[in-house]
């Protein structure tokens, strides 16, 4: 089972968009996938139009079983554990809990029917983010293409280094630094230069990135993925290529565009 966390200490860089499309893309490619929202803002629930009484918070507190919090069949082969702002209180509520950083990993341990679990996270090193990092084996760090891109990504990787120091036996690898909103401006060029100057990020930089594409914003407000809303858009093409990279570990052939009725074939 592949365990992927989407992290960046900066907000608005494309974490949720990427979590949704990596999870939905893996599911379209035939992998049984679980998408976990570890951000109390609950954007994933909004994006899929899910409202449930039982959420990640209840799972974390031991008030609900795994089966009760999983929303099944959000799309074919795609299940979701949603979150709501009630989870903002978790840091305080679990302050005295033993081994509280590994609660999520322990609660999700019975999962065996999934090929992949993708976790979205909030822009803070809070308890849920620690829990996401201590469940995951692979990290995707989306970065916005502006002057601050490097800052949030660097802070994130420093936090990951702390976790590796504290739990040296765990495998936690940087799978990709993913540029979001790539365009032909100087800002994009400067952001690429800054990422290239960072010795840790340079080698994991997914260079094509995801081009700037307003359709992703429209798609999520329509509760659709980009492949459903605008299958011929730049973002549909770019996220399909990135999902192939996640599956195969290389950028591969970027010429295949996810066509409406051939999504599965186009993706993997």
Ligand X SMILES: Nc1ncnc2c1ncn2[C@@H]1O[C@H](COP(=O)(O)OP(=O)(O)O)[C@@H](O)[C@H]1O
Q: Which does 66 bind (CB under 5 to 8 A by kind): Mg ion, ligand X, none?
A: none
Could you tell me if 172 and 160 are in contact, meaning their C-beta atoms sit under 8 angstroms apart? yes
Q: Give the C-alpha separation, 261 to 203, whole Å.
A: 35
Place of tokens 């094509």: 208
Q: Which does 55 bind (CB under 5 to 8 A by kind): ligand X, Mg ion, none?
A: none
Q: Which does 247 bind (CB under 5 to 8 A by kind): ligand X, Mg ion, none?
A: none
Nearest Cα neighbor of 16 from 221, 207, 158, 155 is 221
Sequence-distant (≥ 6) Cβ neighbours of residue 119 within 8 angstroms: 3, 4, 5, 6, 19, 35, 36, 37, 38, 132, 135, 136
Closer of 15 and 57 to ligand X (Cβ): 15
Closer of 116 and 216 to ligand X (Cβ): 216
Give the count of alpha carbons within 13 A of 118, CB side only: 29
Q: Give the C-alpha separation, 80 to 114, whole Å.
A: 12
CB of residue 120 vs Mg ion: minimum separation in angstroms?
6
- Report the residue closest to Mg ion, judged by CB: 16
Q: Which does 235 bind (CB under 5 to 8 A by kind): Mg ion, ligand X, none?
A: ligand X
Closer of 216 and 267 to Mg ion (Cβ): 216
Sequence-distant (≥ 6) Cβ neighbours of residue 98 within 8 angstroms: none
Q: Which does 80 bind (CB under 5 to 8 A by kind): Mg ion, ligand X, none?
A: none
CB of residue 267 vs Mg ion: minimum separation in angstroms?
23
CB of residue 205 vs ligand X: minimum separation in angstroms?
16
CB of residue 267 vs ligand X: minimum separation in angstroms?
18
CB of residue 182 vs Mg ion: minimum separation in angstroms?
19
Closer of 64 and 143 to ligand X (Cβ): 143
Sequence-distant (≥ 6) Cβ neighbours of residue 68 within 8 angstroms: 54, 58
CB of residue 190 vs ligand X: minimum separation in angstroms?
18
Closer of 15 and 57 to Mg ion (Cβ): 15
Q: Give the C-alpha separation, 55 to 33, whole Å.
A: 18
Could you tell me if 226 and 236 are in contact, meaning their C-beta atoms sit under 8 angstroms apart? yes
Q: Which does 267 bind (CB under 5 to 8 A by kind): ligand X, Mg ion, none?
A: none
Residues in contact with ligand X by CB under 6 A are 11-17, 180-181, 210, 212-214, 216-217, 220, 235
Closer of 135 and 239 to ligand X (Cβ): 239
Could you tell me if 238 and 209 are in contact, meaning their C-beta atoms sit under 8 angstroms apart? yes
Closer of 1 and 124 to ligand X (Cβ): 124
Q: Which does 153 bind (CB under 5 to 8 A by kind): Mg ion, ligand X, none?
A: none
CB of residue 20 vs ligand X: minimum separation in angstroms?
8
259's tokens: 């066509």
């Amino acid at each position: 089972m592949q365990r992927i966390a989407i992290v960046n200490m900066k907000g608005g860089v494309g974490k949720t968009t990427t979590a949704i499309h990596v999870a939905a893309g893996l599911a379209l490619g035939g992998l049984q996938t679980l998408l976990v929202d570890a951000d109390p803002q609950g954007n994933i629930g909004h994006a899929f139009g899910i409202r449930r009484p039982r959420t990640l918070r209840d799972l974390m507190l031991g008030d609900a079983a795994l089966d009760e919090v999983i929303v099944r069949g959000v799309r074919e082969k795609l299940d979701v554990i949603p979150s709501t702002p009630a989870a903002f209180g978790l840091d305080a509520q679990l302050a005295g809990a033993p081994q509280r950083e590994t609660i999520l990993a322990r609660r999700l341990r019975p999962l065996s029917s999934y090929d992949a679990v993708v976790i979205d996270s909030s822009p803070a090193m809070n308890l849920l983010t620690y829990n996401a990092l201590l469940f995951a084996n692979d990290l995707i760090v989306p970065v916005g293409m502006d002057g601050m891109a490097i800052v949030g990504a660097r802070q994130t990787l420093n936090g990951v280094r702390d976790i590796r120091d504290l739990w040296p036996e765990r495998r936690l690898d940087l799978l990709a630094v993913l540029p979001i909103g790539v365009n032909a401006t100087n800002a994009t060029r400067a952001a690429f230069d800054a990422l290239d100057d960072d010795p840790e990020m340079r080698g994991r930089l997914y260079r094509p990135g995801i081009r700037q594409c307003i359709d992703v914003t429209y798609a999520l407000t329509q509760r659709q993925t980009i492949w459903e809303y605008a299958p011929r858009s730049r973002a549909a093409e770019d996220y399909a290529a990135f999902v192939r990279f996640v599956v195969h570990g290389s950028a591969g052939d970027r010429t295949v565009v996810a066509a409406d009725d051939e999504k599965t074939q186009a993706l993997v």
